[in-house]
């Protein structure tokens, strides 16, 4: 799962936790509060329960690994994607926020396509394996 922002999307957060409790492996890639350099005003990590944070794997795209424009501007982890079983793919404009779920006009598409699911899965796995993404350490209580 990939999202730029996560905030107050409790039904989805509850579904993620329920999946983890069914022994589903969950990997979450998020924009980092510090790395966003002002593009975010809150950390998406705070939206997750302690048990989810301990049982899922969280990654971010460190600022030092991002390409820069000639004038020093950098990109954001702005994708909103969920892949299940390497074949069910949800690609959306919606962040994991209550506004995205209840107020905004958002659009998404759900695909059942193993080739696309594998391609997205491989892309993010390669970014993790090649240290483009960095694992976020488990926060201590």
DSSP 103-133: TS---EEEEE-HHHHHHHHHHHHHHHHTTSS
Confidence of residue 34 (pLDDT cuts 50, 70, 90): confident
Confidence of residue 140 (pLDDT cuts 50, 70, 90): low
Q: How far apart (Å, rounded) are the C-alpha atoms in residues 94 and 130?
A: 28
Helix (H) or strand (E) holding 14, with range, is helix 10-21
Longest dimension (CA), the chain: 47
- The pLDDT score that the predictor gives to residue 137 is 84
- The pLDDT score that the predictor gives to residue 139 is 66
Q: How far apart (Å, rounded) are the C-alpha atoms in residues 87 and 118?
A: 7
Q: How far apart (Å, rounded) are the C-alpha atoms in residues 28 and 45?
A: 10
Confidence of residue 46 (pLDDT cuts 50, 70, 90): confident
Which string of b and e fits 104-113 if b means at least 16 CB within 10 Å?
Answer: eeeeeeeeee
All structural domains of the chain with their residue ranges: 2-135
CATH code for the part of the protein at 2-135: 3.30.870.10
Confidence of residue 39 (pLDDT cuts 50, 70, 90): confident
Average pLDDT over residues 29-40: 81
Measure Cα distances from 135 to 63, 68, 102, 113 in Å: 14, 22, 31, 28
Asked whether 96 and 5 are in contact (CB, 8 A), the reply is yes
Counting Cα atoms < 13 Å in the Cβ hemisphere of 40 gives 22
Return all residues near 54 (Cβ < 8 A) that are at least 6 apart.
138
pTM, entire model: 0.89
């Amino acid at each position: 799962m990939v999202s730029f922002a996560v905030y107050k999307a409790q039904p989805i957060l509850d579904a993620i936790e329920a999946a983890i409790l069914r022994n589903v492996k969950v990997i979450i890639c998020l924009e980092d509060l510090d790395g966003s350099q002002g593009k975010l005003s809150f950390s998406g990590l705070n939206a997750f329960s302690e048990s989810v944070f301990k049982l899922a794997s969280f990654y971010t795209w460190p600022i030092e690994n991002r390409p820069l424009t000639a004038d020093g501007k950098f990109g954001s982890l702005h994708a909103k994607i969920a892949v299940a079983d390497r074949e069910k793919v949800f690609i959306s404009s919606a962040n994991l926020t209550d506004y995205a779920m209840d107020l905004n006009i958002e659009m998404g598409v759900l695909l059942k396509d193993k080739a696309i699911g594998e391609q997205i899965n491989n892309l993010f796995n390669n970014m993790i394996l090649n240290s483009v993404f960095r694992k976020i350490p488990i926060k201590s209580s």
